[in-house]
């Protein structure tokens, strides 16, 4: 728990900066108690998050704009704590204290899944099967603490090539680096990345780069028009897959997509990924091979869609 009050604007980036900092503290406390195995550490963090969630303290700050007068803005104070997840009524809980089922959406329909279903392996296994034999590096853009990259490694992803974990927040990078320092079997290199200013020059010359995103573009209100062109120029051969909740951008043709659209607009989350992608494909900047709307179940508001493209 942090005691210092710092007053940060309530943006998705500041949310994650604070959230990854608290997870870093939690992980360091596990290591201080003798945990050394990163696979176990990630599973223990997930177990903790089944019962507890991070609560970030908010405050209202009055900003005096010289031209427009005082304006109230919502800020984070920097104070965060783990609080018990509100699991609903006891009647619907398993004896372990977690809900017996979770409500999700998938392909425009409601999907009820049993407790303990691990959806994160879908992304890792999809990537493992898509990585071509000749791929010489893997990069996640907006990786948080590198959960997907560690999953890819533990589920049998390629050995002996660099994995780049790139992330906007300094605290996310610190946690990814800390975990990487404990896991000698994966060559995980952690770098800064910003979806609004694509720059992958830190990647060593790679014959065939495999890049992916997973629910990180969602956090950026608008990606630049040149996003795919800039990525496409980053390697001789580039294969890229996006796991992002952009179904409503393809068509808001069912109640879940309509709710997703409203939610993203209200939150200031991404609304232009699919338009920029389509333009890049139509102008021949990229070779868009597959688009799947709402193909991976997730919480009702945020089913994951997938787009795959290459620069060759």
Ligand X SMILES: C[S@@+](CC[C@H](N)C(=O)[O-])C[C@H]1O[C@@H](n2cnc3c(N)ncnc32)[C@H](O)[C@@H]1O
| Smallest distance, ligand X to C-beta of residue 15, A | 8
User: CB of residue 266 vs ligand X: minimum separation in angstroms?
Assistant: 17
> Which residue, 100 or 155, has its beta carbon nearer to ligand X?
155
Quick one: which segment of 29-37, 38-46, 97-105, 210-218 binds ligand X (CB under 6 A)? 210-218
Asked if residue 13 binds ligand X (CB under 6 A), the reply is: yes
Q: How many angstroms separate the CA atoms of 50 and 100, rounded?
A: 12
Closest CB 143 distance from ligand X, rounded Å:
5
Among 38, 176, 214, 286, binds ligand X (CB under 6 A): 214
Question: Shortest approach of ligand X to residue 20 CB, angstroms?
Answer: 7
Rounded least distance, CB 38 to ligand X, Å: 15
Nearest by Cα to 196 from 216, 171, 170, 175 = 216
Nearer to ligand X, 229 or 237 (CB): 229
Return all residues near 230 (Cβ < 8 A) that are at least 6 apart: 198, 199, 224
Shortest CB 246 distance to ligand X, Å: 14
Closer residue to ligand X, CB minimum distance, 12 or 268: 12
Using CB under 6 A as the binding rule, the residues of this chain from 114 to 173 that contact ligand X are 142-144, 147-148, 167-169, 172
Residue 204 to residues 40, 80, 310, Cα–Cα distance (Å): 31, 38, 19
Site string for ligand X, 162-201 (x = CB under 6 A): -----xxx--x--------------------xxxx-----
Q: State the number of binding residues for ligand X (CB under 6 A).
A: 21
Nearer to ligand X, 25 or 237 (CB): 25
Choices 23-31, 173-181, 213-221, 286-294 (CB under 6 A): range interacting with ligand X: 213-221
Using the rule CB under 6 A, which residue among 16, 227, 228, 256 binds ligand X? 16
Residue closer to ligand X (CB basis): 94 or 265? 265
* Contact set with ligand X (CB under 6 A): 12-13, 16, 142-144, 147-148, 167-169, 172, 193-196, 214-216, 219-220
């Amino acid at each position: 728990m942090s005691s210092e009050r710092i007053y940060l604007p309530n943006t998705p980036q500041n949310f994650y900066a604070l959230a990854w900092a608290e997870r870093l503290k939690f992980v360091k406390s596990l290591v201080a108690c003798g945990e050394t195995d990163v696979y176990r550490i990630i599973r223990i963090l997930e177990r903790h998050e089944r019962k507890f969630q991070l609560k970030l303290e908010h405050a209202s700050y009055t900003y005096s704009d010289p031209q427009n007068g005082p304006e109230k803005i919502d800020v984070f104070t920097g104070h965060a704590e783990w609080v018990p997840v509100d699991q609903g009524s006891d009647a619907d809980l398993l004896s372990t204290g977690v809900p017996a089922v979770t409500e999700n959406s998938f392909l425009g329909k409601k999907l009820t899944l049993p407790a303990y279903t691990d959806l994160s392996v879908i992304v890792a296994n999809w990537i493992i099967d898509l990585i071509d034999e000749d791929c010489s590096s893997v990069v996640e853009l907006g990786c948080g603490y590198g959960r997907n990259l560690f999953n890819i490694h533990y589920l049998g992803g390629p050995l002996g090539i660099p994995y780049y974990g790139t992330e906007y927040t300094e605290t996310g990078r610190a946690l990814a680096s800390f975990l990487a320092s404990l896991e000698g079997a994966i060559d995980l290199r952690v770098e800064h990345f910003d979806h609004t200013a694509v720059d992958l020059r830190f990647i060593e010359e790679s014959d065939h780069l495999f890049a992916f995103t997973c629910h990180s573009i969602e956090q950026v209100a608008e990606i630049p028009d040149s996003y795919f062109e800039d990525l496409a120029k980053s390697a001789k051969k580039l294969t890229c897959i996006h796991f992002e909740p952009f179904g409503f951008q393809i068509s808001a043709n069912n109640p879940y997509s309509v709710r997703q659209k409203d939610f993203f607009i209200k939150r200031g989350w991404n609304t232009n990924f699919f338009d920029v992608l389509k333009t890049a494909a139509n102008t021949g900047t990229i070779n868009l091979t597959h688009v799947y709307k709402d193909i991976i179940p997730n919480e009702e508001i945020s089913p994951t869609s997938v787009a795959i493209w290459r620069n060759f």
